[in-house]
Amino acid sequence: MTLLLMKRDKSPAGKSIHLLRQGVDTTYKKGLGTHARSTVIYDLSNRDYDYFESYIGIDQEMKNNTSSSARFEVSVDGKQVYGSNTFYSTTSSGFVNVSLKGAKELKLVTTDAGINGNAADHTVWADAKFVKR
């Protein structure tokens, strides 16, 4: 089994985070870089957030790689509250906004979309943040 590490404020390759947003390559200073088939769990006990927000997609360092494919899932307290369609390197970013009111755990999951394994599946949670309104 290969251990792939999460990168904070970097793409999975350790570079700046780039997503295709409304057809434009957009750079983000903050976020999480993961490789498909990843799970990131946040313990929200003793926290009081209203929302989790993030742009999601395949990092544009893979823009010329037709093997890139992934799906994103978000669960709150064990219940899936968001599931994306399949993203490819040519897919514009999506946006996730989920309620965390009263939540104890947030789980961010990327899958390889079941297409061709996890080849070139450089996924990012760009501008990921907890929001208190």
pLDDT average, residue stretch 108-119 = 86
> Is pLDDT above 90 for 118?
no
pLDDT digits (tens, 9 = 90+) for 31-52: 999 988 899 999 999 999 999 9
Q: What is the pLDDT of residue 119?
A: 78
Closest CA to 57 of 28, 14, 100: 28
Q: What is the pLDDT of residue 3?
A: 47
pLDDT digits (tens, 9 = 90+) for 60-77: 999 988 889 999 999 999
Residues 6+ apart with CB under 8 A from 12: 4, 33, 34, 35, 59, 122, 123, 124
Q: In whole numbers, what is the pLDDT of the chain averaged over residues?
A: 92
Max Cα–Cα distance, the chain, nearest Å: 43
pLDDT average, residue stretch 110-125 = 87
